[in-house]
Amino acid sequence: MSSIAADGLDVRVSTFSQVQTVAKYSFQNYFRARRFYAMLVIVALIGGLLTFAFAYFRPAGIVQGPALGFYGAGWGSFVTLIAILSAALFGGDAISSEFQNRTGYFLVPNPVRRSAIYVGKWIAALAASVIILVLYAGIVLLNGLYYFPGNVPVQFGESIVFAFVFIVAALAFMFAFSALFKSAAISIMMGVILLLIVFNVIDTVATVLAKIEPWYSITYADGIIANVLMNPFPAHFTPASGKFGIPTYVATIPEGLTIMAVYFVVTAIVGLWLFEKKEFTS
């Protein structure tokens, strides 16, 4: 350690505690910012509309059928969208904004490794996203308990865990994009477009035209979040039937979890590397 440490300064502050510090204050920044409340409003709107639709239309196949079907419709249909929006809003500009908004000039020129800043911000984004997911899960659960008192399928819990794994991977993916670009708007847009549109198009094209399983796609993997709420779990492969039929692939649970884990590891490494190399030149 440097021999020039000023009096009273603990220069042995650990990287782990610096990660905690960055996470704590980044989370505070999220928690006090408009986007967090915007996301809460989105979840409240989706939850409110679902609650209203179930109560007003009382669809027989959902509110009178097996509980699993209810959770499939209420949770499985929207959780991926909510997870992607959370990842985009909390992670899409987490790193690019350090460059574009010049907040990096406040944080980076300190005795802290860039990796500690990156990981701390990722943890803060994960915490904010988990709050959003938990809120939505709570809305679905309350509805579920109203229509199916005392009957919460174990698959709902599994689906929540898979959604958590997905948000972990999606945030790592978003952070990597955020580290790639210096424009916050571009990094958010690119991430959202890729996760909501491009990957799905590629999945479909690969399945229909090339007839190959889209094992490389995170949006293929996230299918397990909704599919685990189906009984029985869909077949891994369904061949095309008839002249205009198309084959379908469905990720198995181990396959989906593996793909998401690989996405997390690879994009985390790429994003960290990009952030370490990127220069504050503007």
List residues near another protein by CB under 8 A: 1-13, 15, 17-18, 21-22, 24-26, 28-33, 101-114, 279-281
In the complex, what is the shortest distance from the CB of residue 34 to another protein, in angstroms, rounded to a whole number? 9
Sign of CA dihedral 251, 172, 41, 189: negative
- The token duo for 200 is 């799905």
**Which CB sits closer to another protein, 168 or 278?**
278
Three-state secondary structure call for residue 238: strand
Q: How far is CA 102 from CA 97, 247, 271, in A?
A: 7, 49, 19
List of residues 6+ apart from 193 with CB closer than 8 A = none
In the complex, what is the shortest distance from the CB of residue 218 to another protein, in angstroms, rounded to a whole number? 29
Beta bridge partners of 248: 238
In the complex, what is the shortest distance from the CB of residue 127 to another protein, in angstroms, rounded to a whole number? 15
**Which CB sits closer to another protein, 115 or 252?**
115
In the complex, what is the shortest distance from the CB of residue 41 to another protein, in angstroms, rounded to a whole number? 17
Q: Label residue 106 exposed, middle or buried (CB < 10 Å: 0-12, 13-18, 19+).
A: exposed
Task: Supply the DSSP string of 180-196, one letter for each residue.
Answer: H-S-HHHHHHHHHHIII
Residue carrying structure tokens 């992607």: 84
In the complex, what is the shortest distance from the CB of residue 23 to another protein, in angstroms, rounded to a whole number? 11
- The token duo for 135 is 């809120």
In the complex, what is the shortest distance from the CB of residue 65 to another protein, in angstroms, rounded to a whole number? 45
**Which CB sits closer to another protein, 4 or 209?**
4
Three-state secondary structure call for residue 93: coil
- The token duo for 67 is 């509980």
**Which CB sits closer to another protein, 6 or 154?**
6
Element (H, E) at 49: helix 34-57
In the complex, what is the shortest distance from the CB of residue 44 to another protein, in angstroms, rounded to a whole number? 21
**Which CB sits closer to another protein, 241 or 282?**
282
**Which CB sits closer to another protein, 97 or 143?**
97
**Which CB sits closer to another protein, 79 or 94?**
94
List of residues 6+ apart from 186 with CB closer than 8 A = 96
Please name which of 110, 102, 104, 97 lies closest in space to residue 15, comparing C-alpha atoms: 110
